[in-house]
Structure 1
């Protein structure tokens, strides 16, 4: 319990020392800063753009009616609030309040005609650099050795076509990035189809060629690339497939690592 109390006391001490204040003075019965304070406030605003203003508290001396002095202290606080806002400081969450003559204790009453700003330096926000996202394809390609075969995930084409669906374009660019980042990598692009034992329109070859052409046209040396097709001769699941999932698994483009 004693340790908890000491820890709480330390936290309060650190908070208290972190909070600073600045005082603006006013002439008798006036709700605008006097000339010396107006100049000082303007200079202060220009050199404190990165602070957090927590409170703006207005005060008055004890001369005159207490209710009037309460209103006067509020107008003084509002005056400073507007000056800070005009100067570009963030006062959206600032507590702005008048205390009238409730704290009028100074021997020199001029010292009671004031507004006190409580502020602190904005906390330093450390933004942690996000870890690079390693996708399934990149992870498998980085771990692969010569002879490994990797299915290119989520690479879809229009039905009976070698045109890649728009949502699959990022997969091609990911493969392109892998090739650029690994200049010794050589691959063989292999096309496969589903659903029919005899291929009639060479669609698997056209799809493998489409991937080959994309990489070559985007700067990958053709000597690092080759392509071929296997139709339905190497299915993941035997034909005829029993489900749409099995058809999707058979309808694929694979990458074989030739050298890395």
Structure 2
């Protein structure tokens, strides 16, 4: 039962002020982690080579004197630090180390009190740049870029929810390039008599309004509907794909 308790509590991880933690356990009156914890921490280290150790807290059970327990807690911290250091893990320049004798809220299960708690930060992993973001970043003034996967409900300016990833990419590009100014251009398909209901303008405005709600300065954007005046394929289109390619929203790079 004792081993099960140790295994259960060893790798409990949770976020606390942006940090995570793991717990290493010790046998009675020992200052080096027990065999179960050694196996567990070696497995953890193998999967977490890039973490940064920020804090080490050492604890003891309630047996023996306060001073003795505090010294034992210090030794436990030192040995855990040596183990982590030999494994090549990085330590924060302001590494905090604190030993507790009996001055902490103890568990009724003594095995749970004989431990060192390791606090660590995981490396920040930035999301991969989208193709749209790359195109906008490398674009030149005067270039026109089609916004991929922008969809609207039939004959309306209501944006379909699955368009959200593209909208987020566009917003991020505007945030990351504060000098960027654009014209949002709406186009429709299929209508031989032009944009009777001005749907293309309404759709371009919908993208504009999304960016306004996302705190993008309105001075950096304009919008315009072109109806069917600039089709990619002749109207009437021959296939559904041609219709989809004519029915589009683009951005014109006005200033960078």
Quote the residue 2:157 is aligned against.
Answer: 162
Write the distance in 2 (CA, Å) between the matches of 1:43 and 1:179: 60
Write the distance in 2 (CA, Å) between the matches of 1:252 and 1:222: 22
Write the distance in 1 (CA, Å) between the matches of 2:179 and 2:126: 26
**Cα distance, 1:45 vs. partner?**
7.7
Alignment partner of 2:39 out of 52, 74, 97? 52
Alignment partner of 2:239 out of 237, 240, 243? 243
Deviations 1:154-195 (A, max 9, x none): 010111110110111221122111111111000000000001
Deviations 1:229-257 (A, max 9, x none): 11011001111111111111000000000
TM-score (norm: length of structure 2): 0.55
Quote the residue 1:149 is aligned against.
Answer: 144
The verdict on how the C-alpha distance between 1:129 and 1:183 changes in structure 2, with shifts beyond 3 A counting, is closer
Quote the residue 2:209 is aligned against.
Answer: 213
Tell me which moved more, 213-222 or 185-194.
213-222
Quote the residue 1:185 is aligned against.
Answer: 180
Write the distance in 2 (CA, Å) between the matches of 1:239 and 1:214: 30
Alignment partner of 1:134 out of 126, 129, 134? 129
Partner of 1:142, secondary structure, is helix
**Cα distance, 1:152 vs. partner?**
0.3
Do the aligned residues in 1 keep the contact of 2:183 with 2:253 (CA within 8 Å)? Answer: yes
**Cα distance, 1:217 vs. partner?**
2.1
TM-score (norm: length of structure 1): 0.54
Deviations 1:192-243 (A, max 9, x none): 0001122111100000001111111221111100011110110011111111
Count of residue correspondences? 157
Partner of 2:236, secondary structure, is coil
The verdict on how the C-alpha distance between 1:209 and 1:168 changes in structure 2, with shifts beyond 3 A counting, is same
Partner of 1:194, secondary structure, is coil
Quote the residue 1:67 is aligned against.
Answer: none
Alignment of 1:174 onto 2:180: no
Write the distance in 2 (CA, Å) between the matches of 1:125 and 1:231: 60
**Cα distance, 1:125 vs. partner?**
8.9
Write the distance in 1 (CA, Å) between the matches of 2:89 and 2:200: 53
Partner of 1:241, secondary structure, is coil
Deviations 1:109-128 (A, max 9, x none): xxxxxxxxxxx989779988
Do the aligned residues in 1 keep the contact of 2:27 with 2:33 (CA within 8 Å)? Answer: no
Partner of 1:246, secondary structure, is helix
The verdict on how the C-alpha distance between 1:47 and 1:134 changes in structure 2, with shifts beyond 3 A counting, is same
Between Structure 1 and Structure 2, whose CA radius of gyration is higher?
Answer: 1
Partner of 1:42, secondary structure, is coil
Partner of 1:223, secondary structure, is helix
The verdict on how the C-alpha distance between 1:52 and 1:248 changes in structure 2, with shifts beyond 3 A counting, is same
